[in-house]
Amino acid sequence: MKKINKVLNYKLLVFIIFTLSLSTSYSQSIRVPKANLLNKLKVGNHNFVKNDLAKFDFLEQREVLSKGQHPETIIVTCSDSRVAPEYIYNTGLGELFVIRVAGNVVDDVALGSIEYAVEHLKAKQIVVMGHSACGAVTASLKGETESPYINSIIKIIKPAATEAKEKCHSDSEALMYAIKQNVINQIKIMHKSKIISEALESGEISIWGAIYNIASGQVEFIESNEQPDKQKGDSHD
């Protein structure tokens, strides 16, 4: 029991430390335990929704980060100009390793970037974040275009679009369904990476799906590929 209390106290202390760090100034020296990383994003998003943002000293951050980067979270999201992860999660420099491509698709190049951040930068969680009113998903619902390059994006989203058209009765319903299913599908694609699969299996990383609402600013987390039995031992890292 004493040991459990000690762990709980430690978790509480860490939570207080990173909450204070969000409300005052950024400190590169604080590494948040993996179990609290998702909560850190939720707190940042809450600040963004309320427009009550933490301030950052970019002069200090650039100096600290010139010695190296240790981002803890990988964000895979859309190139849409309204979807800016550092604002949405109210983070400073060096916190998010961001991969942005239309439709938040995980192609081989994106997968290589994710692998790099997991293996070499020791990032601890991956968030695949789709968003409302996504143009790439809308295009995929309409079908292929004359551009082979745009089609390369559409093809990756197509399974979600096909499923949405089969199951939904209206265009707006199909769009929301496809946006969500596309996030789930991109998470599945990540499993073809040996590096990511092994990191997930060993509990070194967590993977989350999310949908960003461009009108409200709110992020809804919808999917987790975290290994349930690995979550308990996270507090020591």
Nearer to Zn ion, 92 or 130 (CB): 130
For residue 136, the minimal CB distance to Zn ion (Å) is: 5
Asked if residue 88 lies in contact with residue 80, where contact means CB atoms within 8 angstroms, the answer is no
| Distance from C-alpha of 236 to C-alpha of 214, rounded to nearest angstrom | 36
For residue 105, the minimal CB distance to Zn ion (Å) is: 10
For residue 34, the minimal CB distance to Zn ion (Å) is: 28
| Distance from C-alpha of 202 to C-alpha of 125, rounded to nearest angstrom | 13
Nearer to Zn ion, 9 or 145 (CB): 145
Nearer to Zn ion, 134 or 205 (CB): 134
Asked if residue 219 lies in contact with residue 212, where contact means CB atoms within 8 angstroms, the answer is yes
Whole-angstrom CA distances from 155 to 59, 60, 65, 81, 158 are 43, 43, 38, 22, 5
Residues near Zn ion (CB under 5 A) are 78, 80, 134, 136
Asked if residue 87 lies in contact with residue 48, where contact means CB atoms within 8 angstroms, the answer is yes
For residue 167, the minimal CB distance to Zn ion (Å) is: 21
Nearer to Zn ion, 21 or 132 (CB): 132
